């Protein structure tokens, strides 16, 4: 990307598909020239205008808005143009082809954000926060990611770096003038302790997200006609799965997106456990169900309390035994309305059992409350970091551990200097200072095209 930093780049900035609005963005030295070629009019700096867009043959492409951002007052720090047209793939693609014809090239993944980083509009931690925010499926996490995006997290890092730089200069002076500077003085040691305290405060405020595009999977299991598809439709608030009194209606798993308290979840309805079936298709669907369990975060096992099929309990406890360390389990005892029973919750070591009626919606609120508790576990943290950043923090922890040992025992100036040098290097890497080109390239390569 650095070798092509002088190119003018273009990309569709909105998801492809039919929508009300589609956005094409260009950034670079030739942005204004290209825009004039397409709208056939003079552009207004740092303004927007309703205009017509034409292709290279002067054929009308669409009518929409043009937004103009003059360097350095833009996201990338360069001249940036945004074309807001109707969200039709044909219109968007023709517009991009026209922009390329007039001198731009397609942007690489993350290249707009890279240019913002390269032009000191954002640091590396802010850039990574952008990627975390785009892929976040939990609104609760977004406010913590935004604290990094607005630079609050970086300011904490920079404050630590400033104090570490002062300590490093004092250690270097002590090494050069050992007779004049005493690093064992209580004032000097207190400075180190204060730096460590401030670092610990920051480290205790972070939480790692191991996968930015982590998808939570909830799978519904149980015997045929236990109420799996009914619960599936109830949670989605629509008739997504076919419901009949005929056993084996669901022959394969069905997936849909469930938004639960601003959390994006993947809900999976499965084929029922009917081991007496002679249907090959139904048997294969049951095998597919077991494979789905491996990728699930929550298992909901539904029992029909009117059934005397003890095989289902055997199946459940075998699944529980195999996955209890990685999966949260719910047991829903369904159809209590047929016996006039009240809903109740029983808590066991590895699962929660709830007596409900899906048809009458009895006890469903209890179930949703317990489900919400799993995905809305409020933690004591302020900032969210990714794996790369968390790995750097762990390396810093090792260096501070060595420094604390030095404070408790013999304070060796050279070892002390080396460890503070490493801490400074790792902290700088978090915000992108002294970060190798290969690491930066890898980070931005994981961004989507257009960002």
The CA-atom distances, in angstroms, between 437 and each of 39, 71, 118 are 38, 25, 11
pLDDT at 48 over 80: yes
Q: Which two tokens stand for residue 408?
A: 């408790």
pLDDT in the model for residue 279: 47
pLDDT in the model for residue 147: 85
Q: What is the 3-state secondary structure (H, E, C) of the chain?
A: CHHHCCCCEEEECCCCCCEEEEEEEEECCCHHHHHHHHHCCCCCCCCEEEEEEECCCCCEEEEEEEEEECCCCCCCCCCEEEEEEEECHHHHHHHHHHHHHCCCEECCCCHHHHHHHHCCCCCHHHHHHHHHHHHCCEHHHHHHHHHHHCCHHHHHHHHHHHHHHHHHHHHHHHHHCCCCCCCCCHHHHHHHHHHHHHHHHHHCCEEECCCCCCCEEEEEEECCCCCHHHHHHHHHCCCCCCCCCCCCCCCCCEEEEEEECCEEEEEEECCCCCCCCCCHHHHHHHHHHHHHHCCCCEEEEEEECCCCCCHHHHHHHHHHHHHCCCCEEEEEEECHHHHCCCCCEEECCCEEEEECECCCCECHHHHHHHHHHHHCCCCCCCEEECHHHHHHHHHHHHHHHHHHHHHHCCCCHHHHHHHHHHHHHHHHHHHCCCCCHHHHHHHHHCCCCCC
- Could you tell me the pLDDT band of residue 250, with boundaries at 50, 70 and 90? very low
Give 435's Cβ-side CA count (13 Å radius): 22
pLDDT top residue among 280 and 215:
215
pLDDT in the model for residue 212: 47
Dihedral over Cα of 237, 242, 248, 253: its sign: negative
Q: Which of 107-116, 144-153, 290-299, 313-322 has the weakest average pLDDT?
A: 290-299
Q: Which two tokens stand for residue 177?
A: 């003038």
User: pTM (2 decimals)?
Assistant: 0.67
CA distance 80 to 61: 21
126 closest CA partner among 72, 165, 73, 75? 75
CB atoms within 10 A of CB 361: 11
pLDDT in the model for residue 4: 84
pLDDT top residue among 294 and 396:
396
pLDDT in the model for residue 210: 60
**Once rounded to an integer, what is the mean pLDDT over residues 402-417?**
86
| Identity of the highest mean pLDDT range in 70-74, 138-142, 170-174, 202-206 | 70-74
CA distance 116 to 433: 15
pLDDT at 183 over 80: no
Q: Which of 156-160, 248-252, 367-371 has the weakest average pLDDT?
A: 248-252
pLDDT in the model for residue 274: 52
**Once rounded to an integer, what is the mean pLDDT over residues 13-34?**
93
pLDDT in the model for residue 428: 95
CA distance 290 to 326: 15
pLDDT in the model for residue 407: 85
The CA-atom distances, in angstroms, between 262 and each of 137, 257, 259, 417 are 8, 12, 6, 48
Share of the chain above pLDDT 70, in %: 87
**Once rounded to an integer, what is the mean pLDDT over residues 374-388?**
74
- Could you tell me the pLDDT band of residue 98, with boundaries at 50, 70 and 90? very high
54 closest CA partner among 35, 79, 69, 68? 35
Q: Which of 60-64, 234-238, 303-307 has the weakest average pLDDT?
A: 234-238
- Could you tell me the pLDDT band of residue 240, with boundaries at 50, 70 and 90? low
433 closest CA partner among 160, 112, 166, 124? 124
83 closest CA partner among 31, 8, 146? 31
Please return the burial class of 15, using the count of CB atoms within 10 Å of its CB with bins 0-12, 13-18 and 19+: exposed
pLDDT in the model for residue 447: 77
Rg of the Cα atoms in the chain: 29
pLDDT in the model for residue 85: 96
State the Cα torsion 110-116-120-124 to the nearest 10°: -30
Q: Which two tokens stand for residue 379?
A: 């933690």
Strand order in the sheet with 48-54: 48-54, 60-69, 80-87, 19-27, 9-12, 105-106
- Could you tell me the pLDDT band of residue 291, with boundaries at 50, 70 and 90? confident
- Could you tell me the pLDDT band of residue 243, with boundaries at 50, 70 and 90? very low
pLDDT in the model for residue 244: 42
Average pLDDT taken over every residue of the chain:
85
- Could you tell me the pLDDT band of residue 140, with boundaries at 50, 70 and 90? low
Domains of the chain (ranges, CATH numbers): 2-121 (3.30.1360.120), 127-205+383-432 (1.20.120.430), 222-375 (3.40.50.300)
- Could you tell me the pLDDT band of residue 363, with boundaries at 50, 70 and 90? very high
pLDDT in the model for residue 431: 92
CA distance 220 to 241: 12
pLDDT digits (tens, 9 = 90+) for 67-92: 999 999 999 999 999 999 999 999 99
Question: ω before 312 within 30° of 0 (cis)?
Answer: no
pLDDT top residue among 412 and 288:
412
CA distance 347 to 293: 22
78 closest CA partner among 34, 42, 14? 34
pLDDT digits (tens, 9 = 90+) for 185-239: 788 889 999 999 999 999 988 887 665 445 688 999 988 889 998 999 999 887 6
């Amino acid at each position: 990307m650095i070798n092509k930093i002088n190119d003018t780049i273009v990309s569709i900035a909105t998801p492809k598909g039919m929508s009300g609005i589609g956005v094409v963005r260009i950034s670079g030295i030739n942005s204004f020239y290209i825009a004039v070629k397409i709208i056939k009019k003079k552009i207004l700096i740092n303004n927007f205008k309703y205009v017509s867009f034409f292709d290279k043959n002067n054929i009308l492409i669409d009518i929409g808005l043009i937004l103009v951002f003059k360097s350095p007052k833009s996201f990338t720090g360069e001249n940036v143009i945004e074309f807001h047209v109707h969200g039709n793939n044909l219109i968007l693609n023709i517009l991009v082809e026209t922009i390329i014809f007039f001198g731009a090239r397609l942007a690489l993944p993350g290249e707009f954000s890279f240019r913002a980083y390269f032009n000191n509009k954002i640091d590396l931690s802010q850039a990574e926060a952008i990627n975390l925010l785009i892929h976040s499926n939990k609104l609760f996490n977004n406010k913590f990611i935004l604290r990094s995006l607005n630079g609050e997290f970086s300011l904490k890092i920079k404050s630590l770096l400033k104090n570490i730089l002062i300590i490093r200069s004092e250690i270097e002076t002590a090494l050069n003038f050992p007779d004049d500077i005493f690093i064992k003085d209580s004032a000097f040691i207190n400075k180190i302790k204060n730096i460590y305290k401030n670092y610990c405060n920051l480290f205790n405020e972070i939480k790692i997200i191991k996968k930015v595009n982590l998808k939570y999977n909830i799978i519904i299991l149980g015997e045929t006609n236990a109420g799996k598809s009914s619960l599936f439709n109830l949670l989605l608030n629509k008739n997504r799965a076919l419901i009949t009194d005929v056993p084996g209606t669901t022959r394969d798993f069905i997936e849909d997106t469930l938004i639960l308290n601003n959390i994006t979840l993947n809900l999976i309805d499965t084929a029922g456990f009917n081991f007496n079936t002679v249907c090959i298709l139904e048997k294969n669907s049951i095998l597919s169900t077991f494979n789905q369990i491996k990728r699930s975060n929550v298992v909901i096992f539904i029992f029909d309390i009117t059934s005397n099929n003890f095989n289902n309990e055997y199946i459940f406890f075998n699944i529980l035994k195999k996955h209890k360390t990685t999966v949260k389990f719910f047991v829903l005892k369904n159809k209590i309305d047929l016996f006039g029973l009240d809903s109740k919750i029983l808590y066991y070591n590895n699962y929660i059992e709830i007596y409900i009626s899906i048809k009458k919606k009895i006890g469903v609120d209890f179930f949703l409350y317990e489900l919400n508790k799993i995905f809305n576990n409020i933690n004591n943290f302020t900032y969210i970091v990714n794996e790369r950043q968390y790995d750097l923090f762990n390396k810093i922890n090792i260096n501070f551990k060595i420094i604390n040992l030095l404070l408790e025992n013999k304070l060796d100036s050279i070892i002390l200097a080396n460890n503070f040098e490493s801490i400074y290097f790792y902290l700088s890497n978090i915000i992108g200072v002294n970060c190798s080109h290969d690491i930066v390239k890898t980070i931005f390569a994981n961004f989507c095209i257009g960002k």
